[in-house]
Structure 1
Amino acid sequence: MLLRRLSPLRWLRRLGLGLLALLLLATASLAGAIWWSLPGGGGELRLAGLTGPVEITLDAHGIPRIVAADERDAAMALGWLHARDRMFQMELMRRGAAGRLAELAGPAALRLDRFTRTLGLARRAEADMAAQAPETRAVLEAYAAGVNAWIAAKGRFAAPEFLALGTPEPWRPEHSLLWGKVMGLWLSGNWRSELDRARLAAILSPERLQDLFPAEASAGRPDDPRAALDPAALARLAAVLPRFPEPGTLPASASNAWAVAGSRSISGAPLLASDPHLGFQAPILWYLARIDLADGRMLAGATSPGVPFLVIGRNARLAWGFTTTQSDTQDVFIERLAGQDAYDTPEGPRPFTVIEERIAVRGAEPELLRVRETRHGPVISDLDGSSRQDGTVLAVAMANLAPGDTAATGLHALNRAGSVAEARAAAERITSPSQNLMAADIDGHLGLLLTGRTPMRLSGHGTQPVPGWNGVHDWAGWVDFDALPHRADPSSGMLANANNRVAPPGHPVFLGHDWIADWRFRRIGTLLELRPKHDALNFTAMQRDTVSPFARSLTGPGSLLSTLPMAAGMPGQAQGMLLAWDGDVAADRPEPLLFNAWVKRLGRLALAAGGVPDELAAPHAAFLSLVLAPGNRGAAWCGGDCSALAARALAEAVADLAASLGGTPSGWRWGAVHRAVFEHPLLRALPGLDSLVRLEAASGGDEWTVARGGLRGGQGLDAWQHVHGAGLRLVADLADTDATYAIIATGQSGHPLSRHWSDLLPAWRDGGTVQLGRRPTEPAPSFRLRP
């Protein structure tokens, strides 16, 4: 019997069907694996190390209510929850801080890894464990045990990203300290300003430099050793340093916090509001939770995955929030070489401390990094890979890198504090970063307390790099905590801070030269004065306020804009709209887009006319106010005529917008281009997945409104994206432990397929909040953790 021979067409058909079956099988397997990585529903689980059972109830948004016997058990449960919902976010945090991102992302992440390895964040965090109080170490260990229980149970299914990357490494207690190291680094950026100023000093006169930095001391004199800094070498160094909005970086930070005493509160107890402004990502930095202990203590507010403590929120007797102080706690020192492996000091040559770092790189050979440190700190000029011809290197001193950092112990003490006085004692132990701690207690006391170690300089104010070989500019220790400009119980019954200056000129303690313009602070003060008494609902509305006093100052009666001849065509339409505008930077209005496009173009034109490169300075509020001041006070930046430059900037800005958006100014909307954007730090780089995990919402506000709408920057319509602002808003009324209202910008889950990946975004966009009461109004799954 002869076998029938299959035709080529039938063979191809069978082959195609086989390949299709394999493809379907692979797709089903991948879908099953991703499904298995989703956090499950409720149930009973065992966690070794618990002293008693822990009850966890999730609300409709996945926000947990934890009921535990003590804070150690609560920390273990929180670690398990953080890992359950945000394990990959925690992984990125510890890898970023440890300089291990290239293991995941390949050579593209080497620049950030080299930077963090040079600063030695991981080495310093490990050393700082010994400085923590014993009870704090116990909480850190319990939290790590909770994280590791999730990793042990799920393996590479701990989060969907680990399906490709493998099982995450165990969590160690010191990994939680890395979060504070990252915050200390990115919330204190003066050293970068020093490098930029040194470059500007080579091209600007002292007078022009003061226009950009109003408190700037004279610089760049021929007899000043800072003038010898090579601008080309500084430019090479700037090119290799990570800079926002690159992944793993933060922008110039800003936040709001305010409080009123019971005399100004409808409930009769103090109220506190806090909304920290950081870079946006998906998921957001914050994770909401409520914790109740058997002894009656409670905590409610915002945690951050990787940290076992409440960062912003309240307990039964105290509420608190943070804003950045803008203190100058970093200096760049010019170190003079003494041979190949040593540098000069007042006592003579001293060898560098040398650390060899091996950086693993995905898809490539490992890189060996030789880190040198001086008595002031790490040598950062080695990062550009070139040898300096003047026989010097640049080292950076940072208070947040100093040994003995007890920030974790201080935050733990703050969680336990029952009064503003006890919060003050906790603030003294929060050694990094420099922050304004806004606090209010149930007895009616208010306080604005400064955290972080502030250096005492032997001379100078650290505005530009200074010689390190003679000891003249060395740090002589830390400012005594009690000498810092704390405030308590003002007679007005109100306290507020929006990164405005906290110490008046002439204060005996030097904090810094660079202060964010106080437009948000002024607006908060106006809103607080509008009502004799406030409630939580009013405070949440204040956090969403988009009126800009800064815009009003530049478009209202008596402004330079009001004196310009009315232009023809669309520039004239735009001019008329701005002059009639009330300064509300609302998403559904065209004027905010016209205003921001105009002042941005004007600032760039003025800086370019002064010879300032784009990357060295941004047109900040004080500079724009100078250029647009009546009387032509900014003539030196305007080619002699600021009115003409303002008219030109408006015409060019309108022409650019018309080319991009079409139509006429009256049809444009701020929210069409000013969209809050939240992207996955890793998946954003993968075509096809980037759009699936990207979250967006039209938003109001800009750089100068209480509802901060920080911009991406750059060119084109993407420049208007909202990428920096209040990813968390929280209000607490101390009259009731259930009266805690908060919202985060994305959702509780870090899993893109979870229903809690983005379910809080609509409420965040529209000004809604979630009440963090002991019992959720709409309970969802519950867990019982047993020893």
Structure 2
Amino acid sequence: MVVTRSRWTRWLRRLGFGVLALVLLAALGITALLAWTLPPSQGSVRLAGLGAPVAIGFDGRGIPRIAARDERDAAMALGWLHARDRMFQMELMRRGAAGRLSELVGASALRLDRFTRTLGLARRARADLDAQPPETRAVLEAYAAGVNAWIAERGRRAAPEFLALGAPEPWRPEDSLLWGKVMGLWLSGNWREELLHARLAALLPPERLRDLWPEETSAGRPDQPQAALDPAALGRLAAALPAFPAPFTLPGSASNAWTVAGARSASGAPLLASDPHLGFQAPILWYLARIDLEDGRMLAGATSPGVPFLVIGRNARLAWGFTTTQSDTQDVFVERLAGPDAYETPDGPRPFTVIEERIAVRGGETEILRVRETRHGPVLSDLEGMPAAEGTVLAVAMANLAPADTAAAGLHALNRAGSVEEARGAAALITSPSQNLMTADAAGHIGLLLTGRTPVRRSGDGTLPVPGWDGAADWTGWVPFDSLPHRVDPPGGILANANNRVAPPGGPVFLGRDWIEDWRFRRIGQMLAARERHEAGDFVAMQRDTVSLLARVLTGPDSLLRGLPPAEGAAGTAQALLLAWDGDVAADRPQPLIFHTWLRRVGQRALRAGGVPEGTIGAHSAFLRRVLAPDNAGAAWCEGDCRALAARALAEAVAELQGSEGPDPAAWRWGNRHVARFEHPVLRAIPGLGAAARLEAVTGGDEWTVSRGGLRGGTGPEAWEHVHGAGLRLVADLADPDATFAIIATGQSGHPLSLHWGDLLPIWRDGGMVALGRSMAEGAPAIQLMPQGPLDEAGG
């Protein structure tokens, strides 16, 4: 039989159409299956345990308004909403904190799972549930019931990710406490600095070390005992610890908050602004909501999925925000071994507390982790698998791991507080993490209150790991809450904090030795002083300010840059651009890209010349100011001549940028590299899906601007990616409960196919806000949550 070419062609065409049809059908099927997981925006739902009907309305951006009889019903509704919009985010949070991520994503998460299992966050959260007062436990239980109602109704459809992973486990009240454990861990990172300090102390002379960590010489500074450690072992331990920007980790924290009293406000009542700075992800950590109760109480602002309380925002009488205090609440202890299963103490040998953890790994074998704890805390050096030095191990004491953590009760009390004085009582209950609580009330009072347990050391300043066997550096208790440096109603009517030092050197309370430079704080002070009276819109504009005072110092009239000989060609153009710059780190300008690339090259050259191993530490702003001081104060880091080093670094920076940005420096733009990226923590690793779910926005700002543009770091072009900053901005005017304005960086939904996956990003990028008033447009989507009656419970 002879088959003609035309018949072959027709057959192949039919086959091609058939394959295409199958592909389209498969795509339509997958799309339909994913669409099946989209949550409803209207209807009636019955919840067992609900005390009275709850009305939920949504504005055009998916932000709910909850009208409930009491706070217990409101908590159940919020739990249902969080699960409806962010169930997979909640699942990742609790699994990450419990050391169970490997069950979902495989061996790539083992490093983080080993770390959190070693710290025992889940064990401690279960124990802390008993420390909460009955009314707080009731809210935690109601919230869990709301979450579980969604899980029970939807199963694998609770979020699109569960189609592949299976239905999530029921939510437990103690799961909500894990959020605070994670915040306490990542917002208090001094123990990492101790390990790094110890590693470099063994490699550098004391004078070089003082340049990296300027010595605190104020009166009252405690003496620092030391213990010899192997720098190579410390390097291996550092490699075994999870660190930002790896998935499921957070960066070194930074935030802004400020408030003015009524005398400095156009409305006659205090104004408050808060923008916490954390790592970016899609969806962002925050979820906006407004809650109104029958007795007139209300809450408006930012919740966090997994938590039944408002974290940052206001009620009818009080507004609040948080910044990290930077207090030193963690210490590394070198424990001397006394045989294979014990360690030395002042009272003689003591056996380790040993806990066996079983880590299930998707696609692999279960791993058995043997966790050892000392009287100071968990043994971290077991993660690296070798002793820190011959016959020793490293244990870490963390205030956030101490028992009877009542942070949830404190946040609950803060939601209920009606004045700065009542907020003070709530702050005393927030045992972790150490934060600055910025507050303002409708009566006209403003306050900066410190939260968290701060240890009292028998000796030492927390700079370096200390001997644990003799008790000389043991913690003897906590700084009394009333002794912390709180401030209420200052004479000028202004309070601000941007993670700057809150206690003067040599003050009555020692909070810590190392503090970040106060560039953002000083810029906030400049803007607050520029007006006699402020409106809410002024605070919104301040939050998007991108002026860098550090850039003004390093390129200004008295800078070393002014003393460099004029360069030729493109380097000369770049140099002239920097000298004419006003320090505004705007996305549409070339100078920020030139400036940061130059500073990176300066820091790399100086650290290498000073004997610091590559990749060990970054060049912080105080170090860069020393190297670039006009008087050559940093000569020891510059092979004697910092001007020559700065000139070479500028030439190298320009050559590097020409390779990626083109020949003309005037045509370069910061926004070409400084792009805010919000990626799904799991889908980001899947080709095609990661790009489809990614959200991006061109932004200005950098590490030192009020509108924080935290950088990824490293040495490649991706170093300038914006991965850390204000994922939430909030401004509240205490004159009116409806004068509450907020924005988050992604959208309300955690579903990539939802209209609210990224619809708030353009508003966030452009510096806008959304009003969280009580009323909404008529006809807005609404859900009614109804109590489940006896017939419903019986299935009738």
Query: TM class, shorter-chain normalised?
Result: over 0.9
Task: Show the 5 A alignment for 1:7-26.
Answer: 23-26=23-26
Q: Which amino acid in structure 1 is aligned with residue 108 of structure 2?
A: A
**Does residue 406 in structure 1 map to residue 440 in structure 2?**
no
**Does residue 663 in structure 1 map to residue 659 in structure 2?**
no
Q: Which amino acid in structure 2 is aligned with residue 33 of structure 1?
A: L
Task: Show the 5 A alignment for 1:6-85.
Answer: 23-85=23-85
Q: Which amino acid in structure 1 is aligned with residue 519 of structure 2?
A: W
Shift of 1:29: 2.9
Task: Show the 5 A alignment for 1:575-590.
Answer: 575-590=575-590
Task: Show the 5 A alignment for 1:123-272.
Answer: 123-215=123-215, 226=226, 228-272=228-272
Aligned to 1:696: 696
Task: Show the 5 A alignment for 1:584-663.
Answer: 584-663=584-663
Q: Is the 8 A contact 1:209 1:216 kept in 2?
A: no
Shift of 1:14: 8.6
1:16 and 1:636 map into 2 onto residues whose CA distance is: 71
Q: Is the 8 A contact 2:590 2:669 kept in 1?
A: yes
Question: SS of 1:617's equivalent?
Answer: coil
Shift of 1:776: 2.5
Give CA-to-partner distance per residue, 1:672-715, whole Å, 9 cap, x none: 11011101000000011111011111100001100000000112
1:211 and 1:388 map into 2 onto residues whose CA distance is: 26
Q: Which amino acid in structure 1 is aligned with residue 710 of structure 2?
A: G
Shift of 1:22: 5.4
Aligned to 1:90: 90
Shift of 1:663: 2.7
Q: Which amino acid in structure 1 is aligned with residue 509 of structure 2?
A: V
Question: SS of 1:146's equivalent?
Answer: helix
Shift of 1:617: 1.6
Aligned to 2:431: 431
Q: Which amino acid in structure 2 is aligned with residue 628 of structure 1?
A: L
Higher mean C-alpha deviation, range 11-20 or range 179-188: 11-20
Q: Which amino acid in structure 2 is aligned with residue 756 of structure 1?
A: H
Shift of 1:376: 0.2
**Does residue 509 in structure 1 map to residue 509 in structure 2?**
yes
Aligned to 2:712: 712
Shift of 1:21: 6.0
Q: Is the 8 A contact 1:406 1:429 kept in 2?
A: yes
Give the percent of matched residue pairs that are identical in Structure 1 and Structure 2. Answer: 75
Shift of 1:331: 0.2
2:428 and 2:324 map into 1 onto residues whose CA distance is: 16
2:234 and 2:310 map into 1 onto residues whose CA distance is: 40
Q: Is the 8 A contact 1:59 1:778 kept in 2?
A: no
Aligned to 1:4: none
Question: SS of 1:496's equivalent?
Answer: strand
Task: Show the 5 A alignment for 1:372-383.
Answer: 372-383=372-383
Aligned to 2:103: 103
Q: Which amino acid in structure 1 is aligned with residue 182 of structure 2?
A: V
Give CA-to-partner distance per residue, 1:714-768, whole Å, 9 cap, x none: 1221110000000000000000000000000000000001010000000000011
**Does residue 305 in structure 1 map to residue 298 in structure 2?**
no
- Aligned pair in 2 of structure 1 residues 254, 389: CA closer, same or farther (>3 Å)? closer
1:523 and 1:289 map into 2 onto residues whose CA distance is: 31
1:224 and 1:179 map into 2 onto residues whose CA distance is: 34
Aligned to 1:725: 725
Question: SS of 2:106's equivalent?
Answer: helix
Shift of 1:777: 4.5
2:217 and 2:112 map into 1 onto residues whose CA distance is: 32
Q: Is the 8 A contact 1:59 1:779 kept in 2?
A: no
Aligned to 1:415: 415
1:248 and 1:27 map into 2 onto residues whose CA distance is: 30
**Does residue 745 in structure 1 map to residue 745 in structure 2?**
yes
1:93 and 1:72 map into 2 onto residues whose CA distance is: 23
Q: Which amino acid in structure 1 is aligned with residue 330 of structure 2?
A: Q
Give CA-to-partner distance per residue, 1:492-550, whole Å, 9 cap, x none: 00000000000000111111111111010000000000000001000000000011111
1:94 and 1:507 map into 2 onto residues whose CA distance is: 39
Task: Show the 5 A alignment for 1:311-710.
Answer: 311-387=311-387, 390-710=390-710
Question: SS of 1:437's equivalent?
Answer: strand
Aligned to 1:3: none
Shift of 1:65: 0.3
1:14 and 1:369 map into 2 onto residues whose CA distance is: 58
Q: Which amino acid in structure 1 is aligned with residue 309 of structure 2?
A: F
2:583 and 2:442 map into 1 onto residues whose CA distance is: 37
Higher mean C-alpha deviation, range 594-603 or range 477-486: 594-603
TM-score (norm 2): 0.96
Q: Is the 8 A contact 1:102 1:362 kept in 2?
A: yes
Higher mean C-alpha deviation, range 263-272 or range 625-634: 625-634
2:486 and 2:212 map into 1 onto residues whose CA distance is: 29
Q: Is the 8 A contact 2:45 2:785 kept in 1?
A: yes
Q: RMSD of the TM alignment (CA)?
A: 1.7
Question: SS of 1:149's equivalent?
Answer: helix
Q: Which amino acid in structure 1 is aligned with residue 165 of structure 2?
A: L
- Aligned pair in 2 of structure 1 residues 743, 343: CA closer, same or farther (>3 Å)? same
Q: Is the 8 A contact 1:210 1:216 kept in 2?
A: no
Higher mean C-alpha deviation, range 314-323 or range 617-626: 617-626
2:613 and 2:730 map into 1 onto residues whose CA distance is: 39
1:103 and 1:778 map into 2 onto residues whose CA distance is: 46
Q: Is the 8 A contact 1:581 1:591 kept in 2?
A: yes
Q: Is the 8 A contact 1:60 1:779 kept in 2?
A: no
1:608 and 1:479 map into 2 onto residues whose CA distance is: 40
Q: Which amino acid in structure 2 is aligned with residue 286 of structure 1?
A: W
Gapped regions of structure 1 (runs ≥ 5): 1-6
Aligned to 1:768: 768
Q: Which amino acid in structure 1 is aligned with residue 101 of structure 2?
A: L
Question: SS of 1:516's equivalent?
Answer: coil
1:435 and 1:192 map into 2 onto residues whose CA distance is: 19
Higher mean C-alpha deviation, range 36-45 or range 135-144: 36-45
Give CA-to-partner distance per residue, 1:589-642, whole Å, 9 cap, x none: 111111111111101110111011233221111111111111111111111011
- Aligned pair in 2 of structure 1 residues 347, 689: CA closer, same or farther (>3 Å)? same
Question: SS of 1:436's equivalent?
Answer: strand
